[in-house]
Structure 1
Amino acid sequence: MRRTLLTLLPAALLLALPATVDAQQGGTPQTKTPPQTQPQAQRGRQISATLDGRYLAARVAEQDHDYDAAADQMDAALALAPTDPELIYSAFRMRMYAGRVDAAAQLAPQVLATRPGDGFANLVLAIQAIKKGEYKAAEQQLSRIGAENQLGVLRDFVMAWLKAGEKDFPAARALLAKFKPAAGERSEAPALVIAAQIDELAGDRAAAESKYRRAASLDRNGLRTTLSVADGLRRLGKADEARELLKTYGEKYSDSVLMDGLIAANAPMPKPPSPAAGIAEILFDIGGILAADPRNQRADLALIFDQLAVNLKPDHDFSWLMISNLYEQFQQIPKAIAALAKVGPTSPLSWQARLRMAALDAQLDRFDQAVSRLKALISEKPDRIDAALTLADLQRGRERYADAVAAYDTAIARLRKVDERHWQVFFGRGIVLERTKQWPKAELDMKKALELSPDQPHVLNYLGYSWVDQGLHLDEGMKMLMQATALRPDDGAITDSVGWAFYRTGQFDKAVEWLERASEQKGDDATITEHLGDAYWHVGRKREARFEWERSLNQKPDKDRVPVIKDKLTNGLNPSNDKPTVYEKPPAAKQGG
């Protein structure tokens, strides 16, 4: 079967919040009506029912990651029992998840009345103080975090920034020196950036410049390091050097960033370093560590840290991009789009954000709007291929194959230098050319993709399958499929291709063996199931064949396969329905390898 296609801080340094109130309390919290407002029994039952309903609605919304709705419902519940400590804490949590940081801060003192060491309640009040420039107050707030929620290195880096805000630069530098990474460590460059920014604040321009240059030399591939160094150099009067640094990076990573807004002669001077901006970077680092959790169990906490970052620094575009990614992961697509819209127009992430907005429009069935957005981007930057590729992929996903061919044509025509990474472009166009029955052209693109990436299992699988299915180049096609399955032995689609190759060459016993294995690996795939039914029929297992065909119909096969499978169920396998699944080979096609 063919198939289409930061680490300054350790992960342990987290401000842990319980996943649910139930985890601590074992069930719905018992609310207490204030003595001065004791209602009569009947009204009490009505309020209780309303309170329970609001609370449960909030919990359901939380499970769906709809944190705005959860916060609204929990706030409504809290209004009915405004002194209940568990409801106060639950409302605080939901406001944090929803990104309502300032509203959460209003509840933080009440949370701390019963949980004086709570990490997030203290942190959110510290952030409020930082925004006001009250660095000593922020420092005192952080010192109240309990031992069970120690901030560890996070607290020390934050404290360094707070000391810098208080203009106690010796103390700030002492804190940084305490955790200075060894030369060559991955975290050396970001640590140097922080030290350089604090040197700037202290007025030590020479020391700042030296550290910026060192950071740039250590982390030439890091976008955040590059941007921070360029900003620092510009503030230090090295605008030409900063512009060249950005230009070089933009050319090297032209598929992902666009530096035009920062390189422009009229680009605004970057803001000076500040404790708020520096601490926002640290919060983003923590969010990134949480989001990268391989078990995918800390995405909610990652969202909180990123929202704290943008609360401190509203133009922190990396955080907005991460927030969007998390909302997309939560299937909250409108919120993902809204977060992308926060990315500034001169940001190097702006182009990436606009591309992603178009793709998300398509997910919301605003396909025409997505196409319009992408066509505008294609016209706006005629030297770029990414918008055309995004359009091609969207069109292919909607089975608008002719339109996808045109978009791929645009992208390939814009390639200035073809290298290995472009195998996917030719492979993608080969797929849609084959789907539009242009096999000779499709074959050329498949071969080009394989030339660029000779051991790419998906290309080996697709081209080998297509050849064998049509009865073309049988020996070479089978060799490709065996190579693909050696590279991906557990890939059901590739295993199916080998089985189907044996089927097309009349080796039905071997076909059954391989197709049964493919069904075990990918049993919910309609094509594999149909293939297995065909093989069963040929070895005389006709009852099992019909069972597999019935199962295939229930697995949402491609539209063009539905009448074929129904015909097999009615009439059995016969020459009219036992044909190649790509398309029949032309009469004059050459057989053999």
Structure 2
Amino acid sequence: MRRIPLALLSAALLSLFPLAGQAQQGNRPQAKPSQTQPGVRLQPTSLAGRYLAARVGEQGHDYDIASDQMDQALALTPNDPEMIYAAFRLRVYAGRIDQAAQLAPAVLATRPGDGFANLVLAVEAIKKGDYRGAERQLGRIGAENQLGALREYVLAWLKAGEKDFASARAHLARLRPAAGERAEAPALVIEAQIDELAGDKAAAEAKYRRAMTLDRNGLRTTVAVAEGLRRLGKDADARELLKNYAEKYSDAVVVDALIAPNAPMPKPPSPAAGIAEILFDIGGILAADQRNQRTDLALIFYQLATALKPEQDFAWLMISGLYEQFRQVPKAVAALGKIGPNSPLYWQARLRTAALDAQEDKLDQAVSRLRALVAEKPARIDAALTLADLLRTKERYAEAVTAYDTAISRLRNPEERHWQVYFGRGIALERTKQWPKAELDMKKALELSPEQPYVLNYLGYSWIDQGMKLEEGMKMLERATELRPDDGSITDSVGWAFYRLGQYDKAVDWLERATEQKGEDPTIAEHLGDAYWHVGRRREARFQWERASNQKPEKDRVPIIQDKLTNGLNSGNDKPTVYEKAADSKQGG
């Protein structure tokens, strides 16, 4: 089977479900004269108000409120087809699949080929074990090529549910990827699960093991294979597989709960669980398609996946991520709360919950959660690193250093990807005026990953700012700009380095470029104003300081900028060149 291009599959899905997430323009609710009764005065503003409140909730991605409001609007005009469809659609967005199914027949009365209404009823049929009914419902959606290969996988599971394993295998045979294709491992997992359901244990085991050799790095494949092997009585092999994965990805997602001696036996394969995985994959395809940006449509497929398989924790994780993207943080936290202690994603869910607490300005609660996680698993670095990064971003630098110390002490073999750990601690050390230690960490970060532009930028600028290793520092800054030519912060560092060297003409050139790249940065505007002053462009200097003062500078810069606006640059508010600084130091000594 040739793999279906993502864009082609995404376009097919959009054509199948064209109205998902789209407002029904031109269908504003109005009172119908035929519904009036003598002596009763209609209140169309109530209906319109509910409808508009629902639309506002939808636009803000608060689908619970949107669904509640649209349901109340529907109660005022229960036979309006457009209102029925709008209420149905919002129930699906909100994950209220059972309630959406109640409206689906009314939707199909006027839209018989509607993709989501038929799909929702198919999901409900699958949950009840009515696989033939689900197949009939899917058949009403449209031509086979609208879902491409994914339709065959769904039909294979439905045939397996009907105990028609010959037909199930025939559907799978049409999709079998060529050896070595990326899709081969997940396809083998599905084949193995259906073999297992059919009672062919030998065939199932062989396919599970083959899938694992093809995708040793995939968490979903690893978990699915380990669960299959456990059900087939190969408990030791399953645990060894999980243990090896956990050791290889020690700071990724843990599988401790699955390895534990008291870990529950995985549930047997089922059409509901298998089709949930396919719906999850469709959601992932849509979420990854940057051209169409249909994250709202992806959310629906993730919701349908959890409706069929409530413990589909990968879907809950993705739902949480989408709600975070929608700035609906409480809903993101609620989705993470669906992930239980026996899930391989439980640890990651708790880490993410702490990060979301911090986004909601619940810093103390976030820190408390993370410190508990740090203590809970002394061999892991991820909780300590998350805590350290959080404390550093909140400018609690001394505490951040301590957390970084913990993370680094747990690194057995530092790898290239760990450069950020040393870089983070280096920044915190520099901010706590421990430059010799900070310099060592910056150098260690570059040793692990020599071409990291942000490390080159930070270390190079710090040297120049202190009047040390001026030539080497400037080379680092210039290399950083080669690697990130459009990064305004790095361009600003080069300009400010020239300023500190007293080369004001060059400083102006670089700082003008920086403000073009990052025009809303008050630090860059202030720097450019200082450089303009030194080259005699005093009016332009004051204009830049005025810009800086209006761009929410850091609190300690506000009086300095105001002093510059009032008095211009002077010895009290200007940063001396490194040479002037060195001369002053000698005179003072």
TM-score, shorter chain, exceeding 0.5: yes
Aligned to 1:378: 374
Q: Return the offset for 1:31.
A: 4.7
Alignment of 1:178-193 (within 5 A): 178-193=174-189
Aligned to 2:26: 27
Comparing 398-407 and 370-379, the one that deviates more: 398-407
Counterpart contact for 1:118–1:149, Cα < 8 Å:
no
**Aligned with 2:547: secondary structure?**
helix
Q: Return the offset for 1:19.
A: 4.6
Task: State the one-letter code of the partner of 2:412.
Answer: R
**Aligned with 1:43: secondary structure?**
coil
Aligned to 1:453: 449
Aligned to 1:572: 568
Counterpart contact for 1:467–1:474, Cα < 8 Å:
yes
Aligned to 1:432: 428
Counterpart contact for 2:515–2:524, Cα < 8 Å:
yes
**Aligned with 1:146: secondary structure?**
coil
> In the aligned structure 2, how far is the partner of 1:161 from the partner of 1:581?
73
Deviations 1:233-266 (A, max 9, x none): 1111111001000000111111111111111111
**Aligned with 2:390: secondary structure?**
helix
Comparing 309-318 and 11-20, the one that deviates more: 11-20
Aligned to 1:159: 155
Comparing 320-329 and 415-424, the one that deviates more: 415-424
Counterpart contact for 1:21–1:27, Cα < 8 Å:
no
Q: 2:112 aligns with which of 95, 111, 116?
A: 116
Aligned to 1:43: 41
Q: Identify which of structures 1 and 2 has the higher relative contact order when contacts are C-alpha pairs closer than 8 Å and 6+ apart.
A: 1
Aligned to 2:414: 418
Task: State the one-letter code of the partner of 2:19.
Answer: P
Aligned to 1:324: 320
Q: Return the offset for 1:449.
A: 0.9
Q: Return the offset for 1:500.
A: 1.1
Q: 1:365 aligns with which of 356, 361, 365?
A: 361
Alignment pair present for 1:106 and 2:102: yes
Q: Return the offset for 1:150.
A: 2.8
Counterpart contact for 1:431–1:442, Cα < 8 Å:
yes
Task: State the one-letter code of the partner of 1:356.
Answer: R
Q: How many residues align?
A: 579
Counterpart contact for 2:63–2:94, Cα < 8 Å:
yes
Q: Return the offset for 1:589.
A: 8.4
Q: Return the offset for 1:295.
A: 3.8
Counterpart contact for 2:30–2:48, Cα < 8 Å:
no
TM-score, normalising length: structure 1: 0.94
Q: Return the offset for 1:438.
A: 1.6
**Aligned with 1:75: secondary structure?**
helix
> In the aligned structure 2, how far is the partner of 1:283 from the partner of 1:401?
44
Structure 1 unmatched runs, 5+: 1-5
Q: 1:275 aligns with which of 271, 276, 281?
A: 271
Alignment of 1:77-116 (within 5 A): 77-116=73-112
Aligned to 1:220: 216
1:530–1:295 CA distance, 2 compared to 1 (3 A)? farther
* Identical-residue share of aligned pairs (%): 75
> In the aligned structure 2, how far is the partner of 1:86 from the partner of 1:240?
57
Q: 1:171 aligns with which of 167, 172, 175?
A: 167
**Aligned with 2:11: secondary structure?**
coil
> In the aligned structure 2, how far is the partner of 1:329 from the partner of 1:192?
33
Deviations 1:51-107 (A, max 9, x none): 111111111110000000000110010000000000000000100000101000000
Alignment of 1:411-560 (within 5 A): 411-560=407-556
Structure 2 unmatched runs, 5+: none
Task: State the one-letter code of the partner of 1:87.
Answer: M
Aligned to 1:3: none
Deviations 1:10-51 (A, max 9, x none): 4334242415554xx53233456495x52358722x1x1111
> In the aligned structure 2, how far is the partner of 1:468 from the partner of 1:192?
58
Counterpart contact for 2:20–2:89, Cα < 8 Å:
no
Q: Return the offset for 1:281.
A: 0.1
1:259–1:41 CA distance, 2 compared to 1 (3 A)? same
Q: 2:252 aligns with which of 256, 261, 271?
A: 256
Counterpart contact for 2:477–2:494, Cα < 8 Å:
yes
TM-score, normalising length: structure 2: 0.95
1:164–1:266 CA distance, 2 compared to 1 (3 A)? same
Counterpart contact for 1:464–1:481, Cα < 8 Å:
yes
> In the aligned structure 1, how far is the partner of 2:443 from the partner of 2:550?
35
Counterpart contact for 1:67–1:94, Cα < 8 Å:
yes
> In the aligned structure 2, how far is the partner of 1:575 from the partner of 1:585?
12
> In the aligned structure 1, how far is the partner of 2:489 from the partner of 2:45?
53
Alignment pair present for 1:18 and 2:19: yes
Q: Return the offset for 1:563.
A: 2.1
Alignment of 1:280-429 (within 5 A): 280-295=276-291, 297-429=293-425
Counterpart contact for 1:21–1:90, Cα < 8 Å:
no
Counterpart contact for 1:32–1:84, Cα < 8 Å:
no
> In the aligned structure 2, how far is the partner of 1:137 from the partner of 1:322?
30
> In the aligned structure 1, how far is the partner of 2:433 from the partner of 2:476?
22
